[in-house]
Structure 1
Amino acid sequence: MHVVIMAGGRGVRLRPYTSTLPKPLVPIGDSYAILEIILHQLAAHGCSRVTLAINHLGSLIRAFVGDGSRFGLTVDYLEERTPLSTIGPLFGMRDRLPEQFLVMNGDVLTDLDYADLLAVHSRSGAPLTVATYRRSVKIDFGVLEAEGDKIVSFAEKPVLRYRVSMGVYGLSRRAIADYPEGLCFGFDELVLDLLRQGEPPASYDFEGFWLDIGRPEDYDEANSRFGEVESILLPAGVLAPT
């Protein structure tokens, strides 16, 4: 199993924590970096090779992860000279990728079974499989719909339920075959291109634990909850540093 981890973002929304550290290295629970947890998980799920796409403060990630041997992995690097968004880095490493592989963000905390996601993707025949999570958002206002100057519907403080991308994908190499190297290209653009081509992505619905560390409030939640979720996030035998 080959996994590409996007770890080159500047983490602007998570400042000031990311002023001196890249987001994948911010500490969780005073014991682990986010990326450290991810690498332990991938090794436990049978991953053998990881490519880290790095840019912002990438030298710190190189120094922390090294060749991956302490995680039981082989790790190599793709350094972005200019930001290439969430899919663009793949275009410069197509010859290093197997036919089916995983792509994920470097700031995700989840107990997702990565091996099962890749297996389901491989069987599906879809060019892209997106791990999705159900979220609910309560609207604190009365929501109405109008046609012209007439109100035609009203709901008092409704709860909206929808599925969101978890930032973890199964990808087939053919899905990225036709894009030029060096193109800045996002996951959203890939999904829209596939829909236009009549090749809809597949959904891998997940109901376990998932938290995207994108904003300071997410980071605070991750730290406050780490004690209760540590046992499901970390493989057996992985001990906190002393």
Structure 2
Amino acid sequence: MHAVILAGGKGTRLRPYTTCVPKPLVPIGDTYSILEIVLYQLRSRGFTSITLAIGHMGHLIRAFVGDGSRYDLRVDYTDELMPLGTIGPVLNLLDRLPEHFLIMNGDVLTNLDYGAFLTRHVRGSAPVTVATYRREIRSEFGVLDVDDAGQSIVAFREKPSVPFHVSMGVYAMTRETLRRYTPGQVLGFDTLMLDLLASGERPGSDLFGGYWLDIGRPEDYDTANEQWNDMAPVLLPHMYQSAAD
């Protein structure tokens, strides 16, 4: 099984932590970098080869990970000379990739079983399957429904919550889905979703209810560090169980 990890962003929202270090290499709990956690997780779930899509400070990532042998993985690289969006870097790799593979952001902390997720995609018929997570927004105010004239209140809800689903930044992809695009072009996840829906092809949703934290802001990074002692055995059970034994 193969995964493409997107690790080329500038991490501007996470500054000042990313001033001198690319976001995938920022440490969690003074133990492992985000990228190391992801690599160990992928290996434990049956993945054997990884492509790292690097750009900003990519030389540091390349020097840190090397050929992947210390993670028992085969790691190669693709250099992003200009920002190509979430999916764009993968277009240059299609001939090197298997029929089905994983694409994921390099700043995600989750205990999602990546191997089982990819297997469910392969067994289905969706052109791409998105790992999704349930969120909700709770209003700080009572919400009024007003008639078209704006003169009468027709309903009232006290501080309602609105549930919705978000992408976790983890995608199971079928290679042929991307053949319609030109290598080198900018292609975001949003454009891919809209193109598929417009053509009548429905992307799959794989709803996950475990732990997920997208480390995009300083407060997210602080949360990851605060939770590390409790979450380390959840995120890396094979490693912490071995240590306990």
| TM-score, scaled relative to structure 1 | 0.95
Q: Partners in 2 of 1:63 and 1:223 — Cα distance?
A: 24
Code of the residue aligned with 1:84 in structure 2: it is L
More divergent stretch after superposition (147-156 vs 169-178): 147-156
Shift of residue 161, structure 1, vs aligned partner: 1.5
Code of the residue aligned with 1:223 in structure 2: it is N
Q: Which residue of 2 aligns with 1:125?
A: 125
SS of the equivalent of 2:67 reads coil
Code of the residue aligned with 2:223 in structure 1: it is E
Q: Partners in 2 of 1:180 and 1:145 — Cα distance?
A: 47
Task: Check 1:148–1:173 CA distance in 2 against 1; reply closer, same or farther (3 A cut).
Answer: farther
Unaligned runs of 5+ residues in structure 2 are none
Deviations 1:141-194 (A, max 9, x none): 223344342444332211221111100010001110011111111111101110
Code of the residue aligned with 1:9 in structure 2: it is G
1:191 and 1:201 in contact (8 A); partners too = yes
Q: Which residue of 1 aligns with 2:190?
A: 188
Q: Which residue of 1 aligns with 2:31?
A: 31
**2:173 aligns with one of 171, 174, 194:** 171
SS of the equivalent of 2:82 reads coil
Q: Which residue of 1 aligns with 2:236?
A: 234
Q: Which residue of 2 aligns with 1:7?
A: 7
Q: Partners in 2 of 1:21 and 1:153 — Cα distance?
A: 52
Q: Which residue of 1 aligns with 2:164?
A: 162
Q: How does 1:62-81 map to 2 (within 5 A)?
A: 62-81=62-81
Matched, 1:149 2:150: yes
CA RMSD of aligned residues (A): 1.4
SS of the equivalent of 1:184 reads coil
SS of the equivalent of 1:117 reads helix
Unaligned runs of 5+ residues in structure 1 are none
Q: Which residue of 2 aligns with 1:115?
A: 115
**1:210 aligns with one of 203, 209, 212:** 212
Q: Partners in 2 of 1:152 and 1:35 — Cα distance?
A: 52
Code of the residue aligned with 2:33 in structure 1: it is A
SS of the equivalent of 1:237 reads helix
| TM-score, scaled relative to structure 2 | 0.94
Q: Partners in 2 of 1:222 and 1:237 — Cα distance?
A: 18
Deviations 1:110-134 (A, max 9, x none): 0001011111000111100001111
1:91 and 1:181 in contact (8 A); partners too = yes
SS of the equivalent of 1:35 reads helix
Q: Partners in 2 of 1:237 and 1:93 — Cα distance?
A: 32
Deviations 1:15-71 (A, max 9, x none): 111111111111101111000000000000010110000001101100110000000
1:49 and 1:75 in contact (8 A); partners too = yes
Code of the residue aligned with 1:157 in structure 2: it is K
Q: Which residue of 1 aligns with 2:84?
A: 84
Q: Partners in 1 of 2:157 and 2:64 — Cα distance?
A: 51
Q: Partners in 1 of 2:14 and 2:114 — Cα distance?
A: 26
Q: Partners in 2 of 1:15 and 1:152 — Cα distance?
A: 47
Q: Partners in 1 of 2:205 and 2:137 — Cα distance?
A: 21
